[in-house]
Amino acid sequence: MVDSKEWKWEEADQLPWLKPCEDSYYMATKWLDSGFKNVLDLGAGLGRHSIFLAKQGFKVSAIDLSDYGMNNLKQWAEKENFNIDIKVGDMVDLPYADNSFDCVFAYHVISHTDTLGARKVISEIERVLKKGGEIYTSMCSKETWKFQKAGFSKIDENTVINMEDGPEKDVPHFYANLDDVLKLFHNFNIEKIRHIDYCYINSHKQNSKYYYINGSKN
């Protein structure tokens, strides 16, 4: 299993990563309607979803491998007067007890590993979720240009090392097809999987595809 590697946030255009994604609004409403309270923001980055979920009334725990990101979240939470449990840690070895959370939000996070790592992360998510608790996450699609044609070095049949300059340089990326996703989440009751093509962003054509997965622990 490859060692986990954090984003270099100092090299990122941070502004887009300070605003919650559109999916977080739907999931927050869904989870509040289900009576969920305790949420883990896994791979919290700079803290955008931790802050958003705290504003919705959730009890939030946040973890990321990046000291820079978690320090940013700590300062942000103090400014907003939110009591968020913030930890620097690795997603393949979560520092939480079994059955700790009603839900886990892991947005563009769990693909930052190899095949063995992806299995380990998902098993950790299952472990820390309560029975009936929900996961919302995303995975890179094998139909994406970066997997098919970019020519990045592969470290296993599903995983490439990103060679583009920027905050993700040298970070491993695991890519999946639908069968891979179903196998990885075989212990979950899958409610919905979407396969989204970001074909045009900020005046540029793209070929970035992702799976978005919502399911619950059996």
Per the structure block, which two tokens stand in for 76? Answer: 């942000």
| Pairing mode, strands 154-156 and 129-141 | unpaired
Confidence (pLDDT) at 206: 85
Confidence (pLDDT) at 129: 98
Place of tokens 């998510």: 125
Per-residue model confidence as pLDDT tens digits over 14-50? 999 999 999 999 999 999 999 999 999 999 999 999 9
pLDDT at 155 over 90: yes
Q: How far apart are CA 124 and CA 28, in angstroms?
A: 22
Which CATH number does the domain housing residue 125 bear? 3.40.50.150
Q: Where are the alpha helices (DSSP H) in the chain?
A: 22-33, 48-55, 67-80, 115-128, 145-148, 178-184
Per-residue model confidence as pLDDT tens digits over 52-107? 999 999 999 999 999 999 999 999 999 999 999 999 999 999 999 999 999 999 99
pLDDT at 180 over 90: yes
User: What pLDDT band is residue 150 in, cutting at 50, 70 and 90?
Assistant: confident
Angle at alpha carbon of residue 10, lines to 19 and 90, rounded to 5°: 80
Q: What is the pTM of this model?
A: 0.96
Q: What share of the chain is helix, strand, coil (3-state, %, to 5)?
A: 30, 35, 35
State the residue range of the domain holding 45. 14-217
User: What pLDDT band is residue 218 in, cutting at 50, 70 and 90?
Assistant: very high
Residue 1 belongs to some domain of the structure: no
User: What pLDDT band is residue 202 in, cutting at 50, 70 and 90?
Assistant: confident
Query: How many domains does the chain contain in total?
Result: 1
Q: How far apart are CA 133 and CA 125, in angstroms?
A: 10
Question: Which of 112-121, 133-142, 144-153 shows the lowest per-residue confidence on average (mean pLDDT)?
Answer: 144-153
Q: What is the DSSP string of 73-134?
A: HHHHHHHHT---EEEE--TTS--S-TT-EEEEEETT-TTSS-HHHHHHHHHHHHHHEEEEEE
Q: Give yes or no for a contact between 141 and 60, defined as CB atoms under 8 angstroms apart.
A: no
Name every residue whose Cβ is closer than 8 Å to that of residue 26 and which is 6 or more positions away in sequence.
none
pLDDT at 201 over 90: no
User: What pLDDT band is residue 204 in, cutting at 50, 70 and 90?
Assistant: confident
pLDDT at 187 over 90: yes
Residue 52 belongs to some domain of the structure: yes
Residue 4 belongs to some domain of the structure: no
Residue 8 belongs to some domain of the structure: no
Residue 3 belongs to some domain of the structure: no
pLDDT at 203 over 90: no
Confidence (pLDDT) at 21: 97
